[in-house]
Amino acid sequence: MGEFGEGDGRAAGQRIVGVRASVESVDWSALTATRDDIVSRNHKGVESHLDHAGVRVVCSGARLMGPRSVRTEDGREFTAARGIVLATGSRPRTLPGLEPDGRTVVTSDDALFAPGLPASVLVLGGGAIGVEYASFHRSMGAEVTLVEAADRLVPPEDADVSRHLARGLKKRGIDVQTGARLEGAERLASGGVRATVRTARGELREIGAERLLVAVGRGPVTDGLNLAAAGLATDGRGFVAPADWSRLETADPGIHVVGDLLPPPSLGLAHASFAEGLLVAETLARVASAPVDYAAVPRVTYSAPQTAAVGLTEAQAREAAYDVVVNTMPLTAVAKGMVHGQGGTVKVVAERDGRVLGVHLVGPHVSEMIAESQLIVGWDAEPGDVARHIHAHPTLSEAVGEAFLSLAGRGLHQH
């Protein structure tokens, strides 16, 4: 419902562009069954690809026994001729004294399988995961409070992105509290939780909710890997850092790392992990492969409104001593943006008389719009290069085109 006009998440009485729409109810069991079916079909598709490629799949826990050998929990040992790939993923981080129970206090993993839909949710953490869950529960009709310790949502993104995102979430009726910290929480005998939050103004506020969703980040899973057997260790944050980023190879030649085990600049995003896996597979197959360009990997928050970005934020560009020019273009300045009526913006960060450094989008469907900007940043295009290309009318992507036209000194609707 959150994507349908400017819905506030209530199940009835929506009015969008003269059309009254209502949702009778949400069938949680049918919704989760659909989800499980999609996941299952994707899983079976991957299994089929692996089988077709002749890959042997062994379902078991395992640990390193040396630089080229692995032993499974049932005692089988495998020796690698060329290399080993560590890809054990991550798990949600939790808070001391606030242990998840899968029902009242849940992690972002638990929330996918928690029973039923709560009438109210307190989400701790305003990164991408917390924002997505806050948005989802509001769309399902819940009263939502979102608490983030930093002074803005999705802190790694551009400050203007954070501002527009917070505005959009508040417009939907989500209580957004930034610069706020959890002081304590207790489970109630009657059900639900009661939390004490210190607001940005230093005031103590009690918040009650049926469910407390902890989304304070994820940590790499390395327990039981026996890294020492291969002469490896984690860094201070628990990551396994590669010695050679161009091959994602550790200090022990032949052992490679992909996905959530990697520290920054890796992004812990599925599509970045795909690229990392492809790089390592081609490296082990002795096929030439370009390193992953993390600056050109798109970053998306799947909420309503959505955010999507690629490249440097304005602050990062200035910190890197670029001579920066910036242009912003509201989505509502183009016809399709007016039709959607949900606000949003396009922000372009570029070198003065030089290449595009970053593109940042907020609004409806921007996750589908970011691919163009990925190519712009990845191919070191300049605003004038983009301005030569005509964007279809009426589309939201017109706002991207207009932003670049203005930077190139050829603005049509922006002065």
Point out the residues that are catalytic. 393
For the chain, report the end-to-end CA distance as a whole number of angstroms: 35
Q: How far apart are CA 249 and CA 82, in angstroms?
A: 12
Structure tokens at 142: 């819940």
Tokens 């849940």 appear where? Answer: 106
Does residue 285 sit in helix, strand or coil?
coil
DSSP category for residue 333:
G
Ramachandran angles phi, psi of 146, nearest 5°: -115, 120
Which residues partner with 71 through β-bridges? 63, 77
Q: Is the dihedral of CA 266, 268, 274, 280 positive or negative?
A: positive
Cβ(342)–Cβ(6) under 8 Å? Answer: yes
**Which residues have a Cβ under 8 Å from the Cβ of 291 and sit 6 or more positions away?**
245, 246, 247, 279
In this structure, are strands 255-257 and 84-86 parallel, antiparallel, or unpaired? parallel
Cβ(276)–Cβ(292) under 8 Å? Answer: yes
Q: How far apart are CA 306 and CA 310, in angstroms?
A: 14
Angle, alpha carbons 369-370-373 (nearest 5°): 115
Angle, alpha carbons 146-147-148 (nearest 5°): 125
Tokens 């934020």 appear where? Answer: 313
Alpha helices in 159-199 (DSSP H): 159-171
Question: Minimal CA–CA distance to 404: which of 396, 395, 412?
Answer: 412
Q: Is the dihedral of CA 406, 409, 410, 412 positive or negative?
A: positive
Question: Minimal CA–CA distance to 215: which of 303, 107, 105?
Answer: 107
Structure tokens at 81: 């001729």
Rounded alpha-carbon distances, angstroms, from residue 303 to 74, 107, 168, 373: 43, 18, 10, 20
Rounded alpha-carbon distances, angstroms, from residue 172 to 10, 34, 180, 300: 10, 26, 20, 20
